[in-house]
Amino acid sequence: MGCYGIGITRIISAIIEQNHDNRGIIWNSSISPFQAVILPINFHKSNIVQEISEKIYLQLKEKNVETMLDDRNIHPGIMFTEMELIGIPHSIIVSERHIYNNEIEYISRFNNKKKLIKINNISDYITEKIKKNI
């Protein structure tokens, strides 16, 4: 006997086949394993980066945004590459360089455009992007 129906594994495979680039998967916010990822630079060396990262994480969790905080002690290049490969739609990069200007960096996986956003506005910005499914 055979089954020719469309199961969950075939649906996921079809989505990935239609939504990828040479760096990895590009998930839609509604089906992504995580909607946003926080990538703190020097998380284990900088108290301010750690504090701001955790604050943003909690704000997004309160707004029911599936968020991952990548607090591994690895090189930032590896962190960025792995998140692109996984395909999480919204990346938030927290670094001392931008914190002192009261900003953080946002990157959209859909178009890889970078944008600096005020720290206090990031959770609203992400939730608006998710609502619009961008």
CA dihedral 49, 93, 79, 68 (to 10 degrees): 80
Residues in Cβ contact with 132 at an 8 Å cutoff, skipping those fewer than 6 apart: none
Structure tokens at 119: 């720290």
Residue 2 lies in a domain: no
DSSP string, 16-59: HHHSEETTEE---TTTSS-SEEEEETTTTT-HHHHHHHHHHHHH
pTM of the model: 0.89
Structure tokens at 19: 């939504």
Residue 102 lies in a domain: yes
Work out the end-to-end distance of the chain between its first and last CA atoms, rounded to an integer number of angstroms. Answer: 42
pLDDT computed for residue 30 by the predictor: 83
Residue 55 lies in a domain: yes
Please report, in tens digits, the pLDDT of each residue of the chain (134 residues total): 556 777 888 888 888 899 999 999 999 888 888 999 999 999 999 999 999 999 999 999 999 999 999 999 999 999 999 999 999 999 999 999 999 999 999 999 988 899 999 999 999 999 999 988 76
Residue 1 lies in a domain: no
Please state the domain count of the chain: 1
pLDDT computed for residue 8 by the predictor: 80
DSSP string, 69-92: E----S-HHHHHHHHHHHT-SEEE
Residue 91 lies in a domain: yes
Residue 3 lies in a domain: no
Residue 33 lies in a domain: yes
CATH number at residue 51: 3.40.50.800
Which domain range does residue 23 map to?
8-131
Task: Report the distance separating Cα 13 and Cα 133, nearest Å.
Answer: 20
